[in-house]
Amino acid sequence: MIKIDGHDNAIIGVSSIWKTGSTIEVLVYEAETIRDNLMRDGMDFFEAEEWISFNIQGAYMGENTPILVWTQEAWDNEGFHNRQQE
């Protein structure tokens, strides 16, 4: 499984994904925790979300690419999905 360096505390589980007659397992991360980690390390809120968008959501690392989950509350209240469409 591929891990996102420095964000083990954001792992919320494992997902099985169908791949040509079998399944593979990938790690699932909570995006808000990654954002909090980045902010703790000196980024502001918007810098952290931009970093996540470009370096994680926008990265394809093959069939084992980790899954990033934004909670519904963050998605609705913080308007992250609206910024992604701009």
Cα separation, 60 vs 2, in Å, equals: 11
Tokens standing for residue 61: 């690392």
Cα separation, 2 vs 76, in Å, equals: 29
pLDDT score at 72: 64
Q: Which amino acid is at 16?
A: S
User: What is the per-residue pLDDT across 18-69, written as a single tens digit (0 to 9) for each?
Assistant: 888 889 999 999 999 999 999 999 999 999 989 999 999 888 888 899 999 9
Would you say residue 12 has pLDDT above 60?
yes
Give the H/E segment covering residue 25.
strand 22-30
Distance of CA 72 to the CA centre of its chain: 14
Q: Which residue has tokens 């980790």?
A: 66
Would you say residue 86 has pLDDT above 60?
no
Domain ranges of the chain: 28-84
Would you say residue 81 has pLDDT above 60?
no
Phi-psi region at 20: left, alpha or beta (left = phi > 0; alpha = psi -120 to 50): left
pTM of the model: 0.79
